[in-house]
Structure 1
Amino acid sequence: MRLLLLPLLTSLVVLFVAPAHADLRITRDHGGYVEEYKAKYERIRERKERVIIDGICNSACTLVLGIVPLNKVCVTPRASLGFHQAYYDKSFTFGMKVISQEGTSDLMSYYPATVKSWLARNGGLTPEMKKVKNGMELWKIIDPCPEEFF
C-alpha cells in the first residue's frame, strides 16, 4: 500500500509546487474598460506569463504594452494594434463619444517609448482608431514571436 501511495503523493506535490504558467493569446480584442485591463495585465505581469498578440488588439487591450514587460510580449503575422483617445462609456453620454482628456493622459502614461514614438509620427491619439499592422512599423514597437508561437 505504501508503494502505491508514493507516486500519487509525488504527483500531488508537483501539482501544488510547480508554477502554472500559461500564455495569453490575444486574437480578437476590441478593448473595454481601462481599469479592468489594468488589473488583468497586472495579474499576468505578476505571474510572469507571456502574451502573444495573434490578431486584433485595440483600445484598452494595448495597455498590455505598458504593463507586461515587453520581453514577455510578442506579435505574430496576424497581429494588429489600434489606438485612440479614451472616452466615456457611451451608455452614460446618450450614445455620444465624449473624450476623456484625463483618461487619454492616463493611457499615454502607460505606453512605452516605442508606442509613444509611433503615435507621435502618426499624429498622436485622436478620437479615430489608428492602426498598425504586422510589418516593420509594428516590429519597431514590439518584437515578432518565434515561429513556434504561430
Structure 2
Amino acid sequence: MRGLAFLVLAVLAVGATPAEAVLRITRDHGGYVEEYKAKYERVRAKGERVVIDGICNSACTLVFGIVPPSKVCVTPRASIGLHQAYYDKAFTFGIKVTSVEGTSDLMSYYPQTVKDWIRRNGGLTHDMKKIKNGPDLWKIVDPCPEDF
C-alpha cells in the first residue's frame, strides 16, 4: 500500500505545474517610466499574466508594449489613460513641463494598436485621454476570459 501511495504522489508531482501568477491592476495612476519598464520586464520574464481590472493610466500603459499581448486582458471595469510624458514636478517648481524625449520614448514602446488610437484621437497632449472598456479598448487588448 505504501508503494502505491508513493506512486500516486509521484505521478501527481510530475503532472503538477505551478499556478500562473497574475498581476491585477485596479487603481494605477502611473509614475516613473523607468520603474514601470523594469516592473513589466520582470512580469514578462516570469511569464505572468496581467489583468487590468480598473484604472491603468500614464506609465502603467507601458504594459501594452512590454508584456506580450497574449498575457494581458481587461475586465469590464478597465480603463486606460494616455498623455504626454512630463518631467518630475519636484524639479520644475510644481509645473507640468512636457518632455519631448520622454514622450518619444513612451511612443516607442506602444504597439501599433495604441499608436493608431492616439493618432485617431488627436495625438498625445498634456491632458489625459481615457479609453473605457469597450470596442476602442478591445482593439488594443482582449477582454479577459470570464474566470478572471
Name the TM-score, length of structure 1 as normaliser: 0.87
Q: Which amino acid aligns with 1:66?
A: G
Task: Find the counterpart in structure 2 of residue 92 from structure 1.
Answer: 91
Q: Which amino acid aligns with 1:125?
A: L
Map 1:1-150; keep pairs closer than 5 Å. Answer: 19=18, 21-149=20-148
Give the gaps of 5 or more residues in structure 2: none
Q: Alpha-carbon deviations, 1:47-94, whole Å to 9, x = none?
A: 010000000000000000000001100000000000000000001100
Q: Alpha-carbon deviations, 1:103-129, whole Å to 9, x = none?
A: 000000000010000000001110100
Q: Which amino acid aligns with 1:30?
A: H
8 Å Cα contact 1:32/1:59 also seen in 2 = yes
Q: Which amino acid aligns with 1:90?
A: K
CA–CA distance in structure 2, aligned partners of residues 90 and 131 of structure 1: 22
Q: Alpha-carbon deviations, 1:2-48, whole Å to 9, x = none?
A: x8xxx8xx89xx6xxx6563100000000000000000000000001
8 Å Cα contact 1:21/1:47 also seen in 2 = no
Count of residues paired in the alignment: 139
CA–CA distance in structure 2, aligned partners of residues 41 and 19 of structure 1: 20
Question: Secondary structure of the equivalent of 1:147?
Answer: coil
8 Å Cα contact 1:115/1:141 also seen in 2 = yes
CA–CA distance in structure 1, aligned partners of residues 55 and 123 of structure 2: 20
Q: Which amino acid aligns with 1:63?
A: L
Question: Secondary structure of the equivalent of 1:56?
Answer: strand
Percent of aligned positions that are identical: 76
Q: Which amino acid aligns with 2:69?
A: L
Name the TM-score, length of structure 2 as normaliser: 0.88
